[in-house]
Amino acid sequence: GGKGEGVQPQEVNAERQRTVEEMSRLREAIQSLCQSTNPLARSMDYVQEDLDNMGKELSFWRKDTVAQAQRLEEEERRTEQELEGLVSALRGVEQQIMEEELRINDMKGSVLRNEITIRNMLGSVVRVSGQ
The predicted structure's pLDDT at residue 43: 83
**At 7, is the pLDDT very low, low, confident or very high (cuts 50, 70, 90)?**
low
The predicted structure's pLDDT at residue 40: 80
Instruction: Give tens-digit pLDDT for 53-95.
Output: 999 999 999 999 999 999 999 999 999 999 999 999 999 999 9
For the whole model, what pTM was predicted?
0.46
DSSP for the chain reads --TTS---HHHHHHHHHHHHHHHHHHHHHHHHHHHHHHHHHHHHHHHHHHHHHHHHHHHHHHHHHHHHHHHHHHHHHHHHHHHHHHHHHHHHHHHHHHHHHHHHHHHHHHHHHHHHHHHHHHHHHHHHHH-
